[in-house]
Each structure stands twice: as structure tokens, then as C-alpha cells.
Structure 1
Amino acid sequence: MTALEFTYNLDQVSKTLRPFALRLTRDTEDANDLLQDTMLKAFTNREKYTDGTNLKAWLYTIMKNTFITNYQRMVRRKTFIDTTDNLHYINTADNSTDNQAYTTFAMEDITQAIESLDGAYKTPFMMHFRGFKYHEIAAKLEIPIGTVKNRIHIARKELKRMLRVYSRLD
């Protein structure tokens, strides 16, 4: 296969690779970079492609391996090696374990806010929270579905207002 024929075939197959790149990276720009890296590697290694085999499968394999290599490189770059006596590997990503006291206080506040809701709003809200569908809540409480939706909306709005202090902590 000539370089021109190979380039033409690459161009035809590249359109089917974009969704796969998006699935791997979950980002449009990263997917475009991955696709470009794959095409470059395929073109520079075209002599390794065996004529008559599945070009699409060959490109998918190149893309998957390129993604894995880039991912491993990124993880290594974000890993700090502690050279103290214990020799711990510490991941330097912004991960931390919070004190459980904060969570306990937050849950107490959330529970108190829910308990302070008017019963007309609290009941449908809690049923929805527990997994009931709108039509099931409407049937159980014998009220119209629009009323159920409205009461849940009002309950959420009230809870958001009462727990506003927690939105500033992020």
C-alpha cells in the first residue's frame, strides 16, 4: 500500500475513532489530542501495518495504548516519593480525609432542616428522597401529580435556603 493510499484510508477511518477517543478521555480537547497522536503514530509506523488486515482495529489498538501510556505518565507525574525512613508513596492529588465531626454537624443540620419543613412539603419530599416516583407519591397521598412536583420543589428551595451556609464552604 502506498503512502497516499494509507493516508486516504486513515482519513476514512479517523471519523469513527473520535467517539472512542471521547469515551476514553471524557473531554473534547483531550479527545482531539488523542486522535491526533493516534494518527501521527499510525502514519509514522505505517510500514508495520500488514496489508489486508483490519485497519480500524489496528488504529483502535494504537489509540487505546496511547491513552493508557499518557494516563500512566500523568499518574507518575502526580506521585511524590517520600525519601524518609518509611519510604511511603504519597499521591499528591488534592485528596484529603476530613474529620468526621464536620460531617456529623452537617447531617444534624440537614436533619433539623428537614424536620422543620411543613408536613405538606416534608412528606412528599421524603417519599421522593426514598425513591418513590411522582405518580406513586400522588396516588399514596391522593393529590394531583402537579401538586406533588410543586411541593417537592418548594421543599428543596426551603432546604437550600436553610442550608445556605454549606454552599459557601466548597
Structure 2
Amino acid sequence: MTTLEFNRELTNVKSTLFSFALKLTKDYQDAQDLFQDAATRGYRYCSRFEMGTNFRAWMATIIRNTFINKCRANSKRRTVSEPIETFTFSIESQNIIANKGEMDMRIQEIYGMLDQLSDIYRVPFLMHFQGYEYKDIAEHLNLPIGTIKSRLHTARATLKKMISKQEALPTA
């Protein structure tokens, strides 16, 4: 296919192909970009087009594949196009502790909650917290790994409930 033939064929089906690009992107500007990228790609590979076949279907396939490739690239990239000032709220934590005294109080509360757990949950939880792996905890307590995982899950869930109840209490 020559350049002249490619341009003639593309001009004949341009509105249909642009509508297809618009349907995929749901945005006029993105559809223009997609159509232009696909047209460039189609021109680059026009020598592979077999005369006598459906040019519109060939270009629609190029548009669809270009769209899919862009979606994949965008999902991997995950870039932010807004200024950092709009995201300062995400940097600021709502759980910032103002001073060491307040942190010590929270730690004491958490240890108090841990003391409320029965030994079958507290011991594996503390061992895991100290860095022991499931296998090591299971060997030390002479229990199956599944039991250790279950007890750790129960301990976490119980502590979560205790902490959420503590936070729900009105402060004076």
C-alpha cells in the first residue's frame, strides 16, 4: 500500500474510526490523541496491509490495540499530574503524637489491652511482634502453624476492637 492509497483510505473511514476512538476513551481530546497514534502506527505498518481486505477493520484493530497498550502503560505508571501542595493532607497524619508523654500513655494502654488477652492469644502475638516467624512460634509452643495463624488473627481482631472502643470513648 502506498502513502497516497493509505491517506485516501484513512480519509474515507476517518469519521467512523474517530467515533470508535471516542467510544473507547469517552473523552474528545483523548480520542484525538488515540486516533493520531493509531494513524501513525497504521502508516508505519501500511506495507503489512493486504490490499483487498477491510481497511476500516484493520485500522479499528490498531486503534483498539493502541488503546489497550496505553491503558496498561498508565496502570503501571500511576503518575500524579497535580501539584504536590494539593496532597499535603496525605502527608499529615491524623495520628501524630505531639509529645513523648502522650506516646507513653498510648503504649501503656496497648500493653493494658494485651494483658486483657488470654495467654493462648497473647504469647503467640508477642512472639510474632518480636519478630519470630510462624514456624518458630509453632515449634516453641508445640502447636500446628495453622493454629498459630488463627490465634494471631484472633488476637489482632480482639485488639482492634479494644482500640476502637477506646477511641470511641468521650474525652474530657
TM-score, with length taken from structure 2? 0.49
Pick the structure with greater CA Rg: 2
- Higher helix residue share: 2
TM-score, with length taken from structure 1? 0.49
